[in-house]
């Protein structure tokens, strides 16, 4: 795509991402046991479109950004399921952020991960990742902290290969993330990157209800495919 391209919405971005993934010869998405993991909430509509287009299993991997005290939109790190933590260089200490503040923010975000896990998954068990190729999908990457945390969670659960697939991210973040995963697919890498939202015409907040609905549809589709094979 051209550098200045914008996406209509997350669903369209996911369809375009699926085309890019499917076109890569020898890519992991051609393995039938590959699983697509969306990062809630905004990554799930993108991941849903990817999984449906490629006929792959969909699930979620929960990570949360650690926001700077007083500036919550500025990421100082991220946490993931199982207590995985990633901190930006210089944290604690950066702009006066203390270890106690990091621990308090991390505890709050881990509690939110637990709430979402119960809400989205209910009684459904976590998917087995051991020995499988995992495609991690979000609606975009800014600092890379949350995606790195997600990759570490997937590695910790035994993923054979970790593929990161996103519609948009700044070049410097892609350069730092690429050596830490097995494959990285990004449709747009704008030099003048301010926020993920600027690359979408529609970027409404994804609700818990939308995440639940998309997962329910995907899981029904997966059950139907297993029944007819």
* Cβ-proximal residues to 177 (8 Å cutoff; 6+ apart), any chain: 141, 144, 147, 148, 164, 169, 184
Q: Where are the chain's structural domains? A: 10-63+128-227
Judged by average pLDDT, the poorest of 122-126, 183-187, 210-214 is: 122-126
What pLDDT score does 213 carry? Answer: 97
Give the whole-number percent of the chain exceeding pLDDT 70.
Answer: 94
Global confidence as pTM = 0.92
What pLDDT score does 221 carry? Answer: 87
pLDDT of 229 over the 70 cut = no
pLDDT tens for residues 130-150?
999 999 999 999 999 999 999
- Sorting pLDDT into bands at 50, 70 and 90, what band is 1? very low
DSSP-based helix, strand, coil % in the chain, nearest 5: 45, 20, 35
CATH of 10-63+128-227, one of 3.40.50.1100, 3.40.50.2020, 3.40.50.300, 3.40.50.740: 3.40.50.2020
pLDDT tens for residues 58-83?
999 999 999 999 888 888 999 998 88
Residues 87-115 have a mean pLDDT of 93
Average pLDDT of the chain is 92
């Amino acid at each position: 795509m051209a550098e200045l391209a914008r996406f209509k919405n997350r669903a369209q971005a996911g369809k375009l991402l699926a085309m890019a993934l499917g076109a890569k010869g020898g890519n992991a998405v051609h393995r039938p046991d590959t699983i697509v993991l969306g990062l809630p909430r905004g990554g799930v509509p993108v991941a849903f479109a990817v999984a449906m287009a490629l006929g792959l299993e969909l699930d979620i991997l929960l990570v949360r950004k650690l926001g700077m005290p007083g500036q919550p939109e500025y990421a100082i790190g991220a946490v993931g399921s199982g207590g995985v933590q990633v901190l930006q260089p210089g944290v604690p200490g950066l702009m006066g952020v203390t270890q106690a503040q990091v621990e308090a923010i991390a505890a709050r975000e881990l509690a939110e991960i637990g709430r979402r896990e119960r809400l989205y998954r209910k009684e459904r068990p976590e998917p087995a990742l051991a020995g499988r190729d995992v495609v991690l999908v979000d609606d975009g990457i800014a600092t890379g902290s949350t995606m790195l945390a997600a990759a570490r969670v997937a590695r910790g659960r035994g993923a054979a290969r970790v593929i990161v697939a996103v519609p948009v991210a700044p070049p410097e973040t892609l350069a730092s993330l690429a050596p830490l995963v097995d494959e990285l697919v990004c449709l747009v890498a704008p030099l003048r990157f301010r926020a993920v939202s600027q690359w979408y015409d529609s970027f409404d907040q994804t609700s818990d209800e939308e995440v639940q609905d998309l997962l329910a549809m995907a899981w029904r589709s997966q059950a139907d495919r297993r029944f007819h094979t």
